[in-house]
């Protein structure tokens, strides 16, 4: 009854809302509007649901995992519409909304429903609007592709909901609004706004005194719906109370007591430019916008890459199915990535097989009917496990999906490359091949087998491309740094020597025997072990402080690593990743470089993930990592992408010589401070990982003109930037949860 009443009220509202003649209706009642086709899949859909509705009916949808409600415009496109409005009801269904240009084979970024609203209930409809000029989450634009399809796709657990009144709106009226106001650096207040606000309504009061200011506004090139206006105050900040009034909003801050530090520019050493890398950048413009220096062709789906046909197979990540290589030809990939200004890491497959075509798969239902799960898009392809969860045995015949591979084929391929990579990586996480690629390699990989493969493929790589550096063995995680998939009996059989130290010793021996270096980079993957998945305040604080595991010899890991150390290393409960591996390299194979070709923030959507990334990039420079590539391709406009942009975006670079930073009180749990110089100009990154503002007195920071970038805090995630004049260095404010970059002009 309640719902019907709501519906009646809604009808009146609907009349007003639909009165614009130029809106394009997709659905109001009982059927799709004419001109629209049902392109949904794997879903139970009723276009005339009468249990929950507005008007006379709604659409009820139950989608399996990754299935979607999807509509296609029969002819024409909707690129000139301002936004999409719809009413939705359900228990906060997990949906991603995206748009396609079927004509151009282009898909928009996905918008999670939770980025629009987190209060969707089954008790009635919530009316939502997606502004194509200010997409939820990123603030980006849909762009001017020839959009002709839209989809509401269920996530991994499926989704059940009702949806009604789906309309493309012709225009959206933006009401001018102040959104945030925050202190920044020495004398700047940053105010974000939408629409044409009136700055005569803004006043700044510092410790009881009104402060005059001048204004300068900026809109990011890829998120122009919001603007930021920088007020330069007539008098600088000082500890105490700051109140900014803007229209009818008041923003209050307690400016804290200053902390002391100094920068010593003369104490410095080079930062390796290869630390600002990612896996698989999507486009050349992405490489430029984020300043990506190194790009990796890597991951589980390249181990079976067949360079003679560009076929691959993602193994356990996707039902052991062959497919066309996601990135086409590796040779051409190296070509366009290098052309965009990034160096490259190319993976050389190192098992005995590669994919033989784009269609075969290892575990057909017709042969193995009893399997735990089947691909929702190909019901014949199973996940290689019996329904009781154990791996299918006896192992299947590899020829079902693969063709033989060996080092001579690798050498033949590498010799034929038109585009030469910077680094060749020997396979990927080969120590867990029995799991990721159980179909190709069912037996656990031992110390000896791994070494033998690395030496064999290193020799083939060096024979084909003598001047290209070789990286190995891309070990997946802390556990496998020290032992093999066989376990501790294998370690015992090798004089109780932990795996990577043993590997370094053996690669040195093999190189000495070969008369040339077979290993240029020790390459490891690093994933923080503490569990931050709750993403609550405690998990965020943990995420932000666990960057200490990268460098801090006193930091006991807040995970099983700290609780049950499982290796023969010194301080086995403290990761101290970079210093530890530098030391192991110095002991076992001096001169080897250190690469981290996979690492991640633990949450790419949350602002704390962006702050972790900015902190880690500072640490990699300060502690002399030689190369690092983020896993996976960070969203350019998300917090992690912005951390790369902060250091390197659009050709404005953090200096390439790391300068010494001395802090009276370091507080590494809540702050990261990184300094560098280039051509005697200072650049500085400060990451405030705390939930309140901080203030520094930093001696030796020269006065004068600086380029300023920042993201986070109440300004949010956007490419905010300006130029400022630093008139004093004794009170530099960084807002809560914010990373700032300043570079002397």
Ligand X SMILES: *[C@@H]1O[C@H](CO)[C@@H](O)[C@H](O)[C@H]1NC(C)=O
Looking at the Cβ atoms of 454 and 575, the one nearer to ligand X is 454
CB of 228 to ligand X, least distance (A): 22
Q: Is residue 38 close enough to count as binding ligand X by CB under 6 A?
A: yes
By CB under 6 A, name the one of 103, 250, 283, 489 that touches ligand X: 250
Q: Is residue 679 close enough to count as binding ligand X by CB under 6 A?
A: yes
CB of 456 to ligand X, least distance (A): 9
Q: Is residue 56 close enough to count as binding ligand X by CB under 6 A?
A: no
Bridge partners, residue 685, by sequence:
674, 741
Looking at the Cβ atoms of 308 and 703, the one nearer to ligand X is 308
Q: Is residue 34 close enough to count as binding ligand X by CB under 6 A?
A: no
What burial class does residue 652 get, using C-beta atoms within 10 Å of its C-beta: 0-12 exposed, 13-18 middle, 19+ buried? middle
Q: Is residue 554 close enough to count as binding ligand X by CB under 6 A?
A: no
By CB under 6 A, name the one of 397, 415, 513, 699 that touches ligand X: 397
CA–CA dist 69, 75 (Å, integer): 19
| Burial call 628-642: b when 16+ CB within 10 Å, e when fewer | bbbbbbbbbbbbbbb
Contacts of 32 (CB under 8 A, 6+ apart): 26, 38, 47, 71
CB of 155 to ligand X, least distance (A): 18
Q: Is residue 656 close enough to count as binding ligand X by CB under 6 A?
A: yes
The helix or strand, by DSSP H or E, that contains position 612, with its residue range, turns out to be: helix 607-622
Q: Is residue 680 close enough to count as binding ligand X by CB under 6 A?
A: no
CA–CA dist 338, 114 (Å, integer): 37
Q: Is residue 210 close enough to count as binding ligand X by CB under 6 A?
A: no
Binding positions for ligand X, 603-642, rule CB under 6 A? none
Stretch of residues binding ligand X (CB under 6 A), selected from 343-351, 405-413, 584-592, 714-722: 405-413
Name the pairing type of β-strands 627-630 and 277-279. Answer: parallel
CB of 10 to ligand X, least distance (A): 23
CA–CA dist 497, 167 (Å, integer): 65
Task: Determine contact, residues 675/743, Cβ cutoff 8 Å.
Answer: no
Q: Is residue 409 close enough to count as binding ligand X by CB under 6 A?
A: yes
CB of 319 to ligand X, least distance (A): 19
Stretch of residues binding ligand X (CB under 6 A), selected from 218-226, 382-390, 628-636, 696-704: 382-390
> x-or-dash pattern for ligand X, window 351-370, by CB under 6 A?
-------------------x
Binding positions for ligand X, 682-711, rule CB under 6 A? none
Q: What are phi and psi of 718, to 5 degrees?
A: -160, 165
Stretch of residues binding ligand X (CB under 6 A), selected from 403-411, 474-482, 600-608, 718-726: 403-411
Task: Determine contact, residues 151/43, Cβ cutoff 8 Å.
Answer: no
Q: How many residues bind ligand X (CB under 6 A)?
A: 25
Stretch of residues binding ligand X (CB under 6 A), selected from 306-314, 316-324, 406-414, 578-586: 406-414
Stretch of residues binding ligand X (CB under 6 A), selected from 120-128, 177-185, 402-410, 726-734: 402-410
CA–CA dist 7, 24 (Å, integer): 22
Residue 3: Cβ within 10 Å count: 18
CB of 654 to ligand X, least distance (A): 11
By CB under 6 A, name the one of 160, 243, 378, 714 that touches ligand X: 243
Q: Is residue 406 close enough to count as binding ligand X by CB under 6 A?
A: yes
341 closest CA partner among 391, 257, 285:
285
| Burial call 548-578: b when 16+ CB within 10 Å, e when fewer | bbbbbeebbbbbebbeebebebeebebbbbb
CB of 102 to ligand X, least distance (A): 16
By CB under 6 A, name the one of 235, 408, 415, 680 that touches ligand X: 408
Q: Is residue 245 close enough to count as binding ligand X by CB under 6 A?
A: no
Dihedral class, residue 271 (left if φ above 0, else alpha if ψ from -120 to 50, else beta):
beta
701 closest CA partner among 734, 646, 744:
744
Q: Is residue 678 close enough to count as binding ligand X by CB under 6 A?
A: yes
Q: How many CA atoms are closer than 13 Å to the CA of 89, on its beta-carbon side? A: 20
Read out DSSP for 87-151?
EEESSS--EEEEEEETTTTEEPPPEEHHHH-S---TTS-EEEEEETTS-TTT-----SS---EEE
Residue 57: Cβ within 10 Å count: 21
CB of 208 to ligand X, least distance (A): 8
- Write out the residues near ligand X by the rule CB under 6 A: 38, 40-41, 43, 45, 47, 241, 243, 250, 252, 270, 273, 370, 386, 388, 390, 397, 399, 404, 406, 408-409, 656, 678-679
């Amino acid at each position: 009854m309640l719902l019907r009443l709501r519906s009646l009220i809604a009808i009146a509202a609907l009349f007003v809302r639909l009165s614009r003649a130029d809106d394009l209706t997709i659905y109001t009642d009982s059927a799709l509007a004419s001109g629209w086709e049902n392109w949904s899949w794997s879903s139970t859909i009723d276009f005339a649901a009468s249990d929950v509705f507005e008007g006379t009916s709604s659409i009820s949808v139950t989608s399996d995992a990754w299935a979607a409600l999807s509509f296609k415009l029969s002819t024409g496109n909707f690129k000139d519409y301002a936004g999409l409005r719809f009413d939705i009801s359900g228990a906060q269904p997990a949906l991603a909304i995206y748009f396609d240009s079927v004509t151009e084979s282009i898909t928009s970024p996905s918008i999670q429903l939770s980025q629009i609203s987190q209060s969707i209930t089954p008790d009635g409809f919530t009316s939502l609007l997606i502004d194509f000029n200010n997409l939820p989450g990123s603030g980006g634009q849909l762009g001017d592709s020839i959009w002709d399809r839209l989809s509401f796709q269920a996530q991994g657990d499926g989704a059940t909901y009702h949806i009604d009144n789906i309309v493309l709106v012709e225009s959206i009226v933006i009401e001018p609004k102040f959104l945030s106001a925050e202190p920044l650096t020495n004398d700047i207040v940053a105010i974000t706004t939408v629409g044409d606000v009136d700055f005569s309504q803004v006043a700044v009061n510092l410790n009881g005194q009104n402060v005059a200011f001048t204004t300068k506004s900026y809109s990011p090139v890829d998120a122009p719906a919001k603007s930021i206006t920088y007020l330069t105050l007539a008098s600088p900040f000082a500890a105490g109370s700051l109140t900014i009034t803007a229209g009818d909003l008041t923003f209050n801050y307690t400016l804290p007591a200053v902390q002391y530090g100094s920068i010593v520019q003369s104490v410095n050493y080079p930062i390796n430019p290869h630390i600002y890398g990612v896996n698989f950048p999507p486009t050349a413009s992405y490489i430029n916008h984020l300043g990506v220096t190194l790009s990796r062709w890597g991951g589980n789906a390249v181990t079976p890459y067949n360079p003679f046909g560009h076929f691959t197979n993602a193994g356990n990540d996707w039902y052991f199915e062959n497919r066309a290589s996601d990135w086409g030809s590796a040779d051409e990939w190296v070509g366009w990535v290098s052309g965009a200004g990034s160096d490259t890491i190319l993976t050389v497959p190192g098992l005995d097989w590669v994919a033989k075509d784009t269609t075969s798969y290892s575990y057909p239902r017709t042969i193995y009917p009893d399997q735990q799960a089947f691909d929702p898009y190909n019901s014949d392809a199973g996940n290689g496990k019996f329904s009781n969860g154990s791996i299918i045995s006896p192992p299947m015949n590899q020829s079902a999906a693969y063709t033989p591979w060996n080092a001579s084929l690798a050498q033949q391929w590498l010799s034929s490359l038109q585009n030469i990579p910077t680094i060749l990586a020997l396979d990927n996480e080969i120590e867990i091949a029995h799991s990721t690629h159980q179909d190709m390699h069912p037996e656990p990989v031992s110390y000896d087998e791994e070494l033998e493969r690395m030496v064999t493929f290193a020799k083939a790589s060096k024979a084909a491309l003598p001047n290209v550096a070789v990286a190995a063995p891309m070990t997946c995680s802390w556990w496998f740094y020290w032992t093999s998939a066989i376990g501790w009996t294998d370690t015992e059989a090798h004089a109780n020597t932990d795996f990577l130290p043993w590997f370094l010793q053996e690669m040195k021996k093999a190189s000495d025997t070969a008369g040339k270096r077979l290993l240029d980079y020790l390459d490891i993957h690093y994933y923080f072990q503490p569990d931050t998945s709750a993403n609550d305040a405690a998990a965020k604080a943990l995420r932000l402080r666990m960057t200490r595991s990268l460098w801090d010899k006193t930091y006991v890991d807040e995970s099983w690593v700290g609780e049950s150390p499982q290796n023969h290393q010194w301080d086995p409960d403290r990761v101290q990743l970079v210093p530890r591996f530098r030391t192991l390299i110095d002991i076992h194979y001096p001169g080897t470089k250190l690469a981290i070709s996979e690492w991640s923030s633990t949450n790419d959507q949350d602002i704390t993930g962006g702050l972790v990334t900015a902190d880690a990039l500072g640490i990699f420079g300060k502690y002399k990592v030689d190369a690092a590539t983020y896993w996976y391709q960070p969203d350019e406009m998300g917090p992690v992408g912005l951390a790369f942009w902060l250091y390197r975006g659009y050709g404005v670079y953090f200096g390439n010589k790391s300068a010494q930073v001395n802090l009276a009180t370091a507080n590494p749990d809540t702050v990261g401070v990184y300094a560098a110089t280039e051509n005697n100009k200072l650049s500085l990154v400060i990451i405030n990982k705390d939930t309140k503002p901080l203030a520094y007195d930093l001696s030796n920071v020269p006065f004068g003109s600086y380029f300023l970038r920042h993201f986070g805090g109440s300004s949010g995630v956007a490419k905010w930037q300006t130029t400022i004049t630093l008139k004093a260095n004794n009170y530099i404010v960084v807002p809560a949860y914010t990373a700032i970059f300043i570079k002397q002009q």
